[in-house]
Amino acid sequence: MENNAELSNINDKLIDLELAKSDNKNSKVRKYLPAFVLVASFYYSFLLALGLALGYIGSKIFSKLFVENGKVDCIFIDCGKYKLHLHHWILGAMFLLIVWFIDYFYLPRFFVGFICGVIAHDIYDFNDWHKVFVKNEVK
């Protein structure tokens, strides 16, 4: 009985994850935006562009291997009537802010690019990136 409940819970999470994935993969913006961002960041700094690409690719691989297989759950904070969904764009932005406050004179370009790549993965690949507060289900 307990295995059935766990399987159902994992199945529900996978369905939610599948629904959150972006549908419009053939739009011109989706085709050319990554190239434009990489060219612009490469112009600024090779290390920033490299970090951006590796952060995006690493986040995509992590998502495929762990999140979609149910090995890692999404992070929700219960706030009574609502839950706060900590997307990885929020966690990445918080991490950048913390590091910037600790040492605001020196922030390595590769590090900034890597974290921005993780942020871009969430915003670019998922439709639910803007849904931060989710209503709690009544049980």
What's the CA dihedral at 12, 16, 18, 20 to 10 degrees? 180
Q: 54 falls in which pLDDT band (50, 70, 90)?
A: very high
Mean pLDDT to the nearest integer, 23-39: 66
29 has a pLDDT exceeding 90 = no
**pLDDT for res 56:** 92
**pLDDT for res 48:** 83
Indicate the pTM of the whole model. 0.65
For residues 43 and 58, the model is more confident at: 58
- Amino acid identity at 37: V
Domain boundaries, the chain: 2-135
**pLDDT for res 58:** 93
137 has a pLDDT exceeding 70 = yes
134 has a pLDDT exceeding 60 = yes
**pLDDT for res 12:** 58
